[in-house]
Structure 1
Amino acid sequence: MTAAPELHPLGALMRRFAVDWLDRADPAVPAEIMAPDYTIVIGAYTMRGRDDYVEATSGQLARFPGLTITVHDALYTPDGRVALRFTEHGASARGGAAAWRGIGLFTARDGVLVHNACEEDYLGRRRQLHGGAPDPVDPPMVAPWTEPVAGPDPGAEEAVRSWLAAGRVTGPLPGVVADDGRGADPVLDDVTCEVTALFAAGRRVAFHAVAHGRYAGGLPDAPGATGTPVALGIAGLVEPGADGTVTGHVVRDRLGLHRTLERAR
């Protein structure tokens, strides 16, 4: 007989984050699941303190009343690390609707969330709102809250660190679904990659990193900006193969890059 799945405390915590906080927009929930000094790093921004985070997120929830989050993948580690790959989707109060992808790397301590390093594809959201048609939402993970906790495979972690160090995080990524999957791949020359977080559950590896380099093209509506020094935030949930290939998903802060190029122009 197959053992019944267990709802691990990390799974229960993330269910409250996704369902009770983001889906239901219950303002009482953050104080119950986040430490007062909860910090989120997203794009070029760092918000320190639960109150500032709640204020900023409440503004987005008001802009997208009825916003829903669909979780496509989750992993949990014995030391309180969590990665979620998700899509947020809803109708904008300003008109139109959108479904935009994201990957978040969370740290929990003493039963509450203390940190999140995240990227969301806001350039894809802007494209959908301006174009008038939302993207379809990928199928959900069947059981994200009962996914077993797993220890890391050090070889997998090292393989992904090497992949990142080689600068293979900009431009087309063979085997990897990037951003909204519709192209517009930013290309950087002379890339160096600063890894800000990386952990694994088995051979699945979650990471957050910042790629530094010179813009070499790839984004629409940013002509004449090649050679500009830029930084590109990246979050990923990937798995290295025995042959050195990497498969999975990444989300990059393309909108932040676009804004940097617009300022330079």
Structure 2
Amino acid sequence: MDASSGVDRLPDGPVRRMVAAANRHDLEGMVAEFADDYENVTPIHPARGFRGADQVRRNWATLFAGLPDLALTVHDATTAPDGTVWMEWSNRGTRSDGSVISSAGVAILAIRDDRIAAARFYLEPVERESGDVNAAVRTTVTGTADARVGP
């Protein structure tokens, strides 16, 4: 296992195997860890939810092709008493134009019959230009993105 990617933070099982396969860009190995009827729920972007391992395959085939150096890092993980895996993770990759994309968030993964059966998926692009916490609060309250205004 590649400890630098944080895979060792995950319990033995399908989530650990999936992350390791993703970091090898092993599409078939990765998709094999998902149940055929896998359900992805994306609460922050409800229209992005989907069902089925075939969509997992399409998503990751596109990611691997478009981000040839894509790497996942697990920052922390825990397993709930019911076997659900909570994973804080991030990814980073370089687009064909040379720009770097990175995302970070949490995935809550339900396991059934040694496969990933469902996920609540919270992953967002890392944004470094949006201002400090004062700007974020002001934007939330006023709907404006004036980073110059503080408390």
Q: Please indicate, yes or no, whether the TM-score normalized by the shorter chain is above 0.5.
A: yes
Q: Using the aligned pairs only, state the percent identity.
A: 24
Aligned to 2:3: none
Distance 1:19 1:182, change over 3 A: farther
Which structure has greater strand proportion? 1
More helix by share: 2
2:19 equivalent to 1:18 = yes
Distance 1:89 1:218, change over 3 A: farther
Matched with 1:150 is none
Superposition deviation, residue 90 in structure 1? 1.7
Counterpart CA distance in 1 for 2:60 and 2:13 is 21
Query: Aligned in 2, Cα 1:34/1:181: closer, same or farther, shift over 3 Å?
Result: farther
Answer 1 or 2: higher relative contact order, Cα 8 Å, separation at least 6.
2
Aligned in 2, Cα 1:59/1:12: closer, same or farther, shift over 3 Å? Answer: same
Q: Normalized against structure 2, the TM-score is what?
A: 0.73
CA distance in 2, matches of 1:75, 1:101: 17
Matched, 1:96 2:99: yes
Alignment partner, residue 78 of structure 1: 81
In angstroms, what is the RMSD of aligned CA positions? 2.7
- Aligned residues, how many? 132
Quick one: distance in 2 between partners of 1:123 and 1:32? 29
Q: Which residue of 2 aligns with 1:35?
A: 35
Q: Deviations over 1:37-73 (max 9, x none)?
A: 1111222211111101220222122221121111111
User: Quick check: 2:106–2:123 contact (8 Å CA) kept in 1?
Assistant: yes
Q: Is the 8 A contact 1:107 1:113 kept in 2?
A: yes
Q: Structure 2, unaligned stretches of length 5 or more?
A: 1-7, 147-151
Which residue is equivalent to 1:55?
58
CA distance in structure 1 between the aligned counterparts of 2:131 and 2:124, rounded to whole angstroms: 11
What are the residue-to-residue correspondences of 1:186-225 with 2, within 5 Å? Answer: 187=140, 216-217=142-143, 219=145
- 1:63-212 to structure 2, matched below 5 A, reads 63-122=66-125, 124=127, 183=133, 185=136, 187=140
Structure 1 ranges of 4+ moved more than 4 A: 180-184
Shift of 1:30: 3.5
The answer to whether the 8 Å contact 2:91/2:104 transfers is yes
Secondary structure (helix, strand or coil) at the match of 2:38 reads strand
- On the 8 A contact 2:41/2:49 being kept in 1, the answer is yes
